[in-house]
Amino acid sequence: MAPFVKSAEDVRERLTTHLFEVEDIVGDTIDIKILPNRYDAASYLGLTRELYAAAGKRWKEKKLTKVRVVKKGSVKAVIQTKKCARCMTVYMEGVRISPSPKWLQDVLLHSGMRPINNVVDVTNYVTLMTGQPLHAFDFQKMEGKQIVVREAKQGEEVKLLTGEQIFFQKGELMLADTRGALDLAGIKGGERAEINAETEDIVLTAANFDGTTVRETARRVGVITDASSRFAHGLSAELVGAGMEMAINLLIKITGAKLGKTFDAYPKKALAKKIVFDPDRILEILGVEITPKEMKKILQDAGFGFSGKQIIVPSVRTDIETIEDVAEEVGRIYGYNNFSLISPQVYLFSNEEEGLHMLERVVRERLIATSYQEIKTHSFVSEREAEETGNWGVIGDEGEAVKIENPTAALYARGRKTLITLGKEVVKRAAKDFSQVRMFEIGNVYVKNIGKVKEETVATFFSSSREREGIREVKGVLQAIIKNISPSSLIEEQKDDKLFLSLQGKVVGVVGHAEGVAYGEISLTRLLSFISFEKKYEAESVYPVTFRDISFSLSREVSFGELESEMIKAGRELLSDFYQRDEYKKEGKSIFTYRMYFQSKEKTLTNEEVDGRMSDIIQSLSKNGVEIF
Amino acid sequence: MKEEVEALLKEAEERILAAQTAEELSQARIFYLGRKEGKITELMKRLPGLSVDQKRDVGPILQQLRVTVESLLSIQEKNFAKDELLDLTGRGKTVPTGGEHLLTTTIREIERIFEGFGFLSVAGPEIETERYNFDALNIPADHPAREMWDTLFVAPREEGRLMRTQTSAVQIRYMEKNEPPFQIISVGRVFRHEATDFSHEINFHQAEGLLVGEKVSMANLLYTLDAFFKRFFSGQKIKTRFRPSYFPFVEPGIEVDVYLPGKGWLEMGGAGLVHPKVFQAVKYPKGISGFAFGLGVERLAMVKYGVPDIRFFYQNDMKFLQQFGGEMRLK
Question: For B278-289, how does the pLDDT look when each residue is reduced to its tens digit (9 = 90+)?
Answer: 999 999 999 999
Q: Name every chain B residue with its beta carbon within 8 A of the beta carbon of A352.
A: none
Q: Name every chain A residue with its beta carbon within 8 A of the beta carbon of B189.
A: 379, 443-444
Burial class (CB in 10 A: 0-12, 13-18, 19+), A14: buried
d(CA A124, CA A109): 11
Question: For A176-203, how does the pLDDT look when each residue is reduced to its tens digit (9 = 90+)?
Answer: 999 999 999 999 999 999 999 999 999 9
Q: Are A342 and B220 in contact (CB under 8 A)?
A: yes
Q: What share of chain A has pLDDT > 70, as a percent?
A: 100
Question: For B187-198, how does the pLDDT look when each residue is reduced to its tens digit (9 = 90+)?
Answer: 999 999 988 999
By C-alpha distance, which of A139, A183, A185, A140 is closest to A164? A183
Report the Cα A103 to chain-centroid distance in Å.
43
pTM of the complete model beyond 0.90: no
Question: For B85-102, how does the pLDDT look when each residue is reduced to its tens digit (9 = 90+)?
Answer: 788 888 898 899 999 999
Q: Which of A73-77, A206-210, A620-624, B5-9 has the lowest mean pLDDT?
A: B5-9
Question: What is the per-residue pLDDT for A313?
Answer: 96
Q: How far is A130 from chain B (nearest CA, A)?
A: 21
Q: How far is A616 from chain B (nearest CA, A)?
A: 40
* Interface contact A404-B154, CB threshold 8 A: yes
Q: Name every chain B residue with its beta carbon within 8 A of the beta carbon of A286.
A: 217-219
Maximum alpha-carbon separation in chain B:
122
Nearest beta carbon to residue B218 from set A286, A433, A436: A286
Question: What is the per-residue pLDDT for A36?
Answer: 86
Q: Are A464 and A436 in contact (CB under 8 A)?
A: yes
Q: Are A471 and A511 in contact (CB under 8 A)?
A: yes
Q: Name every chain B residue with its beta carbon within 8 A of the beta carbon of A452.
A: none
* Interface contact A324-B325, CB threshold 8 A: no
Where do the H-state alpha helices sit in A19-101? 44-54
Question: What is the per-residue pLDDT for B150?
Answer: 86
* Interface contact A453-B219, CB threshold 8 A: no
* Interface contact B183-A347, CB threshold 8 A: yes
Residue B29: pLDDT above 90? no
Q: Name every chain B residue with its beta carbon within 8 A of the beta carbon of A345.
A: 181, 213
Q: How many CB atoms lie within 10 A of CB B300?
A: 24
Mutate to test the interface with A, among B110, B127, B182 (most CBs of A within 10 A): B127
Mutate to test the interface with B, among A18, A83, A324 (most CBs of B within 10 A): A324
Q: How far is A389 from chain B (nearest CA, A)?
A: 20
Nearest beta carbon to residue A325 from set B98, B226, B251: B251
If you ran DSSP here, which 8-state letter would residue A404 be given? B
* Interface contact B219-A287, CB threshold 8 A: yes
Residue B83: pLDDT above 70? no
Q: What share of chain A has pLDDT > 90, as a percent?
A: 78
Query: B162 pLDDT band (50/70/90 cuts)?
Result: very high
Mean pLDDT of A354-378: 95
Q: How far is B89 from chain A (nearest CA, A)?
A: 25
Residue A138: pLDDT above 80? yes
d(CA A406, CA A210): 28
Residue B19: pLDDT above 90? no
Q: How many CB atoms lie within 10 A of CB B102?
A: 23
Mean pLDDT of A497-516: 94
Q: Which of A4-18, A341-355, A595-609, B142-156 has the lowest mean pLDDT?
A: B142-156
**Closest chain B residue to the Cα of A210, Cα to Cα:** B142
Q: Name every chain B residue with its beta carbon within 8 A of the beta carbon of A435.
A: 328-331
* Interface contact A327-B255, CB threshold 8 A: no
Residue A143: pLDDT above 90? yes
- Cα separation values, A263 from A46, A66, A83, A206, A615, Å: 26, 17, 19, 11, 111
Q: Name every chain B residue with its beta carbon within 8 A of the beta carbon of A480.
A: none
**Closest chain A residue to the Cα of B161, Cα to Cα:** A453
Question: What is the per-residue pLDDT for B68?
Answer: 87
Question: For A87-101, how does the pLDDT look when each residue is reduced to its tens digit (9 = 90+)?
Answer: 999 999 999 999 999
* Interface contact A337-B242, CB threshold 8 A: yes
Which CATH number describes the domain made up of B102-330? 3.30.930.10
Question: What is the per-residue pLDDT for B79?
Answer: 78
Residue A59: pLDDT above 70? yes
Mean pLDDT of A354-375: 95
* Interface contact B154-A348, CB threshold 8 A: no
Query: A627 pLDDT band (50/70/90 cuts)?
Result: confident
Query: B84 pLDDT band (50/70/90 cuts)?
Result: low
Q: Which of A45-54, A585-594, B251-260 has the lowest mean pLDDT?
A: A585-594
Cα angle vertex B159, ends B155, B163, to 5°?
Answer: 60
If you ran DSSP here, which 8-state letter would residue A406 be given? S
Strand extents, DSSP E, B82-176: 120-121, 127-129, 161-163
Q: What is the mean pLDDT of chain B?
A: 91
Question: What is the per-residue pLDDT for B141?
Answer: 84
* Interface contact B241-A21, CB threshold 8 A: no
Question: What is the per-residue pLDDT for B82?
Answer: 64
Nearest beta carbon to residue A287 from set B217, B251, B329: B217
* Interface contact A343-B276, CB threshold 8 A: no
Residue B244: pLDDT above 70? yes
Burial class (CB in 10 A: 0-12, 13-18, 19+), B54: middle
**Closest chain B residue to the Cα of A13, Cα to Cα:** B243
Query: A214 pLDDT band (50/70/90 cuts)?
Result: very high
**Closest chain B residue to the Cα of A231, Cα to Cα:** B144
**Closest chain A residue to the Cα of B114, Cα to Cα:** A346
Question: For A527-584, how does the pLDDT look when each residue is reduced to its tens digit (9 = 90+)?
Answer: 999 988 788 898 899 999 999 999 998 876 788 888 999 999 999 999 999 999 888 8
Q: Name every chain B residue with its beta carbon within 8 A of the beta carbon of A20.
A: 244
Type of residue numbered B207: A
Q: Are B221 and B295 in contact (CB under 8 A)?
A: no
Q: How far is A549 from chain B (nearest CA, A)?
A: 29
Task: Give me the residue spans of the domains in chain B.
Answer: 2-86, 102-330
Strand order in the sheet with A76-79: A76-79, A146-151, A173-176
Mean pLDDT of A57-61: 89
Nearest beta carbon to residue B203 from set A340, A379, A405: A379
Q: What Rg, from alpha-carbon coordinates, does chain B have?
A: 40
Residue, of B8 and A257, whose pLDDT is higher: A257
Q: How far is A254 from chain B (nearest CA, A)?
A: 37
Residue A1: pLDDT above 90? no
Beta-carbon pairs below 8 A across chains A and B? 240
Q: How many CB atoms lie within 10 A of CB A10?
A: 13
Query: B163 pLDDT band (50/70/90 cuts)?
Result: very high
- Cα separation values, A365 from A362, A487, B100, B101, Å: 5, 19, 9, 12
Question: What is the per-residue pLDDT for B198?
Answer: 93
Q: How far is B88 from chain A (nearest CA, A)?
A: 26
Q: How far is B148 from chain A (nearest CA, A)?
A: 8
Those residues with Cβ within 8 angstroms of residue B120's Cβ, 6 or more apart along the chain or in another chain: A349, A351, A353, A354, B182, B183, B184, B185
d(CA B196, CA B202): 6
Nearest beta carbon to residue B326 from set A215, A373, A378: A373
Residue A322: pLDDT above 90? yes
